């Protein structure tokens, strides 16, 4: 027998906190419910309200960030079209070569790029605020423990550097991801120490980052 949607809603309500239960239509799926409450899984209504206000006040900053990200993706995609297309059954050698060629092309094309070009000062403040809010919420200690798990702490890098090959990717806690602005395809947020890095997966380059997002 398929699980009824009511049961599904009850299951997710039990997880995200009962104070949301009465507002949750029974026809919603768990993922839809999660989509509606993307801040944290156990966020109080006050916290949700605080974030809504902040998002509203900073919507111009976030839109500007999204535009800068989009510009980068356009540039990268244009540069990639000039490269030889990877075959469907690419070997590791071909994949590696393609990625490094794209990385070089991107780095060359934005050779003047510097810290804060995409995360402009206003956006840096916004990001620090988001991180602080998530980490000071009820699940904060658990979320911090998760993002510190195998977090490569003392790694030196700058904008346009290749993400170091020998260090693991830090785990992005779902609640932290949900609180940050969504990204274009093939871009990711990662923490390296307390720096929030914007990583381009196609070129494996660090596009920009925000320093001191939380106290170590």
Partner 1 sequence: MSAFERLRLLIQSAAVAVALTVTAWPPAFTDAPPAQSIQTPAGPAAIPLTMPNKDGSLKFGVLGDFGTGEPQQYQMAAQIARVQQQFKFNLMLLVGDNLYGSERPQDFQVKFEIPYKPLLDAGVKFRAALGNHDSREQAKYPKFGMDDQRYYSFTAEGVRFIALESTYPELKQIVWLEKQLKDAREDWKIVYFHHPLYCSAGRHGSDVGLRDKLEPLFVAYNVSVVFTGHDHIYERIKPQKDIVYFVTGSGGKLAPGDLDRNSPITAKGYDAEQAFLVAEIIKDEMTFNAVSRSGKVIDSGKIFRRQGNRPAPSSR
Nearer CB in complex with partner 1: 3/121: 3
Nearer CB in complex with partner 1: 40/160: 40
Min. distance of Cβ 138 from partner 1 in angstroms?
12
d(CA 39, CA 174): 9
- Residues of the shown chain interacting with partner 1 in the complex, contacts defined by CB under 8 A: 1-3, 7-8, 11-12, 14-16, 29-32, 34-35, 38, 41-42, 86, 89-93, 95-96, 99, 139, 142-143, 146, 149-150, 165-166, 168-175, 177-178, 182, 188, 201, 204
Nearer CB in complex with partner 1: 120/180: 180
3-state secondary structure 102-154: HHHHHHHHCCCCCCCCCCCHHHHHHHHHHHHHHHCCCCHHHHHHHHHCCCCCC
Min. distance of Cβ 92 from partner 1 in angstroms?
4
Helices (H) and strands (E) in the chain, counts: 8, 3
Min. distance of Cβ 122 from partner 1 in angstroms?
24
Nearer CB in complex with partner 1: 4/114: 4
Q: Is 82 exposed, middle or buried (0-12, 13-18, 19+ CB in 10 A)?
A: exposed
Min. distance of Cβ 102 from partner 1 in angstroms?
11
d(CA 72, CA 119): 12
């Amino acid at each position: 027998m398929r699980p009824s949607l009511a049961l599904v809603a009850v299951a997710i309500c039990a997880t995200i906190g009962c104070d949301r239960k009465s507002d949750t239509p029974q026809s919603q799926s768990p993922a839809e419910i999660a989509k509606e409450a993307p801040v944290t899984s156990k966020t109080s209504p006050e916290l949700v309200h605080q974030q809504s206000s902040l998002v509203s006040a900073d919507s111009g900053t976030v839109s500007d960030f999204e535009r800068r990200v989009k510009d980068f993706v356009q540039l990268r995609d244009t540069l990639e079209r000039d490269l030889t297309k990877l075959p469907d059954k690419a070997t590791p050698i071909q994949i590696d070569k393609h990625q490094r060629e794209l990385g070089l092309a991107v780095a060359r094309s934005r050779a003047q790029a510097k810290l804060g070009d995409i995360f402009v000062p206003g956006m840096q403040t916004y990001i620090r605020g988001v991180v602080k809010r998530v980490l000071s919420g009820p699940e904060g200690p658990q979320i911090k423990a998760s993002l510190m798990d195998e977090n490569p702490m003392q790694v030196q890098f700058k904008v346009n550097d290749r993400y170091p090959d020998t260090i693991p990717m830090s785990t992005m806690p779902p609640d932290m991801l949900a609180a940050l602005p969504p990204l274009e395809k093939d871009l990711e947020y990662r923490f390296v120490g307390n720096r929030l890095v914007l990583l381009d997966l196609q070129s494996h380059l660090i596009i920009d980052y925000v320093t001191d997002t939380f106290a170590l």
